[in-house]
Amino acid sequence: MDMAPRLDTDALLADPETRIIVCCGSGGVGKTTTAAALGVRAAERGRKAVVLTIDPARRLAQSMGIDALDNVPRRVEGIDGAAGGELHAMMLDMKRTFDEFVEAHADPERARAILANPFYQSLSAGFAGTQEYMAMEKLGQLRGRDEWDLIIVDTPPSRSALDFLDAPKRLGSFLDGKFIKILMAPAKVGGRAGMKFLNVGVSMMTGTVSKVLGGQLMRDVQTFAAAMDTMFGGFRTRAEATYRLLQAPGTAFLVVAAPERDALREAAYFVERLAADQMPLAGLVLNRVHGSGAVQLSAERALAAAETLSLGLAEASGASDPASAADPADPADPAVEADPPGSADPADPAVEAGGAEYATLTVNSPENLAEEGIVDPGSGNAREQNAPAADDSSASDPDGSPTSAERLAVGLLRLHAERMQVLAREQRTHHRFTTLHPEVPVAEVAALPGDVHDLVGLRAIGERLADQTERQPKSAAG
């Protein structure tokens, strides 16, 4: 693929001017794991870091040695502190953060009234935009405490990457908007005069709203508005202050994606939005990238070699149907691409060699040396050492000559062909992104055989983020 600029994550983490890193992107691309891995690597390189994560998988909390994450930063044990760094982690508790905001900006009596209000309880627990607003509120709190020199934020999962930037402003505008101000009017005027004002000015409006929402809900909203009177102006102000913090030079955005069409489309959209809002983009982290230690062997040549071996096995066994010997690839199978004319020259040394040396290259590639076995090219999960296509490996020909090596070679060649087809698809998708945004630095993270479940796995991710010396060349697509 065309080589994009290299993203140097170690330089980013080591720069003392970098105070906030925001990992953003669509759901299911590894944002939380990336944020945690960056936190571990930063701490072990001397930074005092805290990771603010949103709704992480339980196994990720356990991987950091913490039974449960909550709204208070917890020290992560097991971090190598030789460089003087340390790591804390926390999970945003949306309602608790809202409660803390109320308790900090209202007197005790008013705070109790607000916290007990049914409308407030619904608003703080699940109102649209509350999670994003409170994530930014917590970010502002952590930055204000100045206990950490690096804050890494895992943005909330959402259907649109724009929600993280837009929702806080929307919520602030709602809480500081005209509708709420109208509801506060009786409290501001006071007593019967206030009720008279309300009856004269907005009785028709409130009557209509009461019919739609219900009288009790309307009273709850009015009580909430009256209690929050002194606080409403602060919502928009604080949202705007945190928004400016995200635009500051000490902040760096990392867009996280996977080499899939939808994820990279969302990543491209987010890159454009960050540029429009003048927010500092550090680069793109591309997770779960597949690779191969034998990129010189294309999918077409691997399939051709496998077919040659299969025919040889069929002739050696005396089978009338070659398919009965080694189950050659079905040309109608959509997973197997047809060989282009001339792609498998019978005189090609690769074909004459029966594909044995290429099978050895494939089985010895870095992805296929995991203890679990051979990595599945589609999912990244490990398969059993004996692939289904290479069963009966202990069988022999009727004349006593062994065939296990040939059968294994056929299976490995086909597995390698599938892997190369995955590589080609991922590279085409990545190429479309780099064509649109050639200026965006990229760090590729190779797919792992399994899930990350401990600090060792997070360190491995951090190392792969930092080591970008072996990027797949364009010729890997075959």
pLDDT one-digit tens code per residue, 442-453: 999 998 888 888
Determine the pLDDT at residue 460.
92
Residue type at 410 in one-letter notation:
V
Determine the pLDDT at residue 435.
93
* φ/ψ bin of 288: left (φ > 0), alpha (ψ from -120 to 50), beta (otherwise): left
Strand 86-91, strand 281-289: pairing: unpaired
| pLDDT beyond 90 at 217 | no
% residues pLDDT > 90 (the chain): 31
| pLDDT beyond 80 at 422 | yes
Structure tokens at 394: 């202990």
Strand 382-383, strand 374-375: pairing: antiparallel
- DSSP for residue 396: B
Question: Rounded mean pLDDT of 206-219?
Answer: 51
Q: Which of 94-103, 213-222, 358-367, 375-384 has the highest mean pLDDT?
A: 94-103
| pLDDT beyond 50 at 330 | no
% residues pLDDT > 70 (the chain): 62
Determine the pLDDT at residue 148.
94
Question: Rounded mean pLDDT of 7-26?
Answer: 94
Determine the pLDDT at residue 271.
93
The average confidence (pLDDT) of the chain is 74
| pLDDT beyond 50 at 382 | no
Determine the pLDDT at residue 103.
86
**Which residues touch 139 (CB under 8 Å, ≥6 apart)?**
20, 52, 151, 153, 242, 245
Task: Tell me how far apart the alpha carbons of residues 38 and 241 are, in angstroms, rounded to a whole number.
Answer: 26
Secondary structure class of 30 (helix, strand, coil): coil
Handedness of CA 405, 411, 416, 419 (dihedral sign): negative
Q: Determine which helix (DSSP H) or strand (DSSP E) holds 256, and give its type and residue range.
A: strand 251-257
| pLDDT beyond 80 at 297 | yes
Question: Among 32-41, 85-94, 128-137, which is the least confidently predicted range?
Answer: 128-137
| pLDDT beyond 60 at 202 | no
Question: Among 218-222, 228-232, 241-245, which is the least confidently predicted range?
Answer: 228-232
Determine the pLDDT at residue 114.
84
Q: Over the stretch 41-73, which tens digit does the pLDDT of each residue have? A: 999 999 999 999 876 666 667 778 777 778 889
Determine the pLDDT at residue 37.
95
Query: Higher-confidence residue: 361 or 70?
Result: 70
Determine the pLDDT at residue 161.
53
Determine the pLDDT at residue 11.
96
Determine the pLDDT at residue 473.
47
Secondary structure class of 257 (helix, strand, coil): strand
Structure tokens at 367: 């992805």
Other CB atoms within a 10 A radius of the CB of residue 390 amount to 23
Q: Which of 137-146, 211-220, 393-402 has the highest mean pLDDT?
A: 137-146
| pLDDT beyond 60 at 122 | yes
